[in-house]
Amino acid sequence: MNIALAVILCTVIGAVGAAILVAAAKFMAVEEDPRIAEVTSCLAGANCGGCGYAGCADYAKAVVMDGVPVNLCAPGGAASGPLPATFLLPFAMGACSALGGSIMTDAFGTVAMVAMTPLVTIQAMGLYSQLRHKLARRRLLYHMERVEDTVVYFD
């Protein structure tokens, strides 16, 4: 009898707490402009900060509210994000089913590869640039160490 009473008491307390949370969520809900969600869905979703904002959601909010230009998203564009995935997914699913592969395991890797290739390329180009500058600095220091000091006397 004590266990049943404890179970019933915990259930009632949980139900009352859930009702309070639902009421608070309805009462304190903040409406957001639906255009922000639309702009966010068009971005690459990398949250890289390359546009100068903290993430894709902040950039989308700035585009809608402040009129910020829409071309600041570096990893976005026609080569990544939802646009190629929309066209590539049916193609990959058809190719997998035609070749007898598993759609759930084989087709989605192709979409991920297409979505991530521009991001990886940008990172590789940044790494190449950093290594090139570091090598140029080493060459300069090497040549500066090899230069003999000459003393020029003015009479």
Helix H, strand E, coil C: the string for the chain is: CHHHHHHHHHHHHHHHHHHHHHHHHHHCCCCCCHHHHHHHHHCCCCCCCCCCCCCHHHHHHHHHHHCCCCCCCCCCCCCCCHHHHHHHHHHHHHHHHHHCCCHHHHHHHHHHHHHHHHHHHHHHHHHHHHHHHHHHHHHHHHHHHHCCCCCCCCC
Q: Which domain holds residue 126?
A: 78-144
Mean pLDDT of 74-88: 57
Quote the pLDDT of residue 12.
95
Q: Is residue 149 part of a domain?
A: no
Q: Which residues contact 151 (CB under 8 A, 6 or more apart)?
A: none
Give the number of domains in the chain.
3
Question: Is 63 within the bounds of a domain?
Answer: yes
The domain boundary, picked from 44, 74, 104, lies at: 74
15 and 66: one domain?
Answer: no
Verify that 85 and 138 share a domain, yes or no.
Answer: yes
The tokens for 83 are 């646009």
Task: Confirm if 58 and 33 have CB atoms less than 8 A apart.
Answer: no
Q: Do the beta carbons of residue 72 and residue 60 sit within 8 Å?
A: no
Residue 89 and residue 139 in one domain: yes
| Triad 67, 70, 73: Cα angle to 5° | 130
Residues 128 and 94 in one domain: yes
Instruction: Kindly tell me if the per-residue pLDDT of 85 is higher than 60.
Output: no
> Could you tell me if 86 and 123 lie in one domain?
yes
Same domain assignment for residues 56 and 39: yes
Of the candidates 43, 59, 74, which is a domain's last residue? 74
* 101-136: pLDDT as tens digits: 776 666 666 666 666 777 777 888 888 888 998 998
What confidence category does residue 11 fall into, taking pLDDT thresholds of 50, 70 and 90? very high
115 and 129 share one domain: yes
Last residue within a domain, chosen from 15, 48, 74: 74
What pTM was estimated for this model as a whole?
0.39
Asked if residue 43 is part of any domain, the answer here is: yes
